[in-house]
Amino acid sequence: MVAILLGPPGVGKGTQGDRLVRALGWQKIATGDLLRAARREGTELGRKAQEYMEAGNLVPDELIVELVKEKLAALSPDTGVLFDGFPRTVPQAEALDAALPSVDRKVGVVILFDAPADVLHKRISGRRSSPDSGRVYNIYFDPPKVEGICDETGSALIHRDDDQPETVARRLEVYRKQTQPLVEYYDESQATLLRIDGDQEMSEVQGDLHAALAREAGIEVGEA
């Protein structure tokens, strides 16, 4: 089984994906992790990727797909795989579909998490983090006891550049432009597309996901 996670920033897909792979014993694949590992290990693909990055260029889709194929070939054929953060565009999805048969796999399930834009904006722009404890608060949903101060260390909380309102708005707009065609692509493919409401409590999202996997894809998920 190959499954793909889709969803905008702040929807919680990463958390749900981590829980899902633990419960199923699957392998989660994030292309950023593959790139870092290949560079660290000095593989041929890693050296090629390094050349692009040092030149300030994006790593081509073809090279990313080769890294994915290399990773899949090293896994047991019985190990399920969950992609997080890839593909991001229709050309990447097409390249992945073309490559998977060479490792005797195909995309079976695509899981789309979504939530209203205003909710996503609050989830991201409302984040405040403590540089000392690492704890992350949210001024809308999980504020500290004293505004701007970490409950655990008493240190001042910071608002990361990535979480500034203007940046969040741009990130969400880029996601919508890139992902809507991708959703349509998978909606017309042979893969099962599951739409999960991310505007719920975490446990409710997880429950909906497990129910949809069992109902639509025949995948029973135990406890994470």
Sheet holding 107-114, edge to edge: 27-29, 81-84, 2-6, 107-114, 192-197
Residue whose pair of structure tokens reads 């897909």 in the numeric block: 13
CATH topology (fold) of 2-217: Rossmann fold (3.40.50)
CB-CB contact of 213 with 221 (8 Å)? yes
Residues 6+ apart with CB under 8 A from 55: none
CB-CB contact of 115 with 201 (8 Å)? no
Structure confidence by residue, pLDDT tens digits, 93-141: 999 999 999 999 999 999 999 999 999 999 999 999 999 999 999 999 9
Q: Is the pLDDT of residue 180 over 80?
A: yes
Q: What angle do CA 191, 78, 106 make, to 5 degrees?
A: 25
pTM attached to this predicted model = 0.88
CB-CB contact of 128 with 144 (8 Å)? yes
Distance of CA 163 to the CA centre of its chain: 17
DSSP 49-67: HHHHHHTT-PPPHHHHHHH
Structure confidence by residue, pLDDT tens digits, 2-42: 999 999 999 999 899 999 999 999 999 988 888 888 888 88
In this prediction, residue 224 carries a pLDDT of 55
Q: Give, for 3, the enclosing helix (H) or strand (E).
A: strand 2-6
Give dist(CA 136, CA 138) in Å, integer: 7
Task: Give the model's confidence band at 192: pLDDT under 50 very low, under 70 low, under 90 confident, else very high.
Answer: very high
Q: Compute and round to an integer the Cα radius of gyration of the chain.
A: 19
Residues labelled catalytic = 13, 88, 127, 160, 171
Task: Give the model's confidence band at 58: pLDDT under 50 very low, under 70 low, under 90 confident, else very high.
Answer: confident
Structure confidence by residue, pLDDT tens digits, 135-178: 999 999 999 999 999 999 999 999 999 999 999 999 999 889 88
Can you tell me the mean pLDDT for 215-224?
Answer: 85
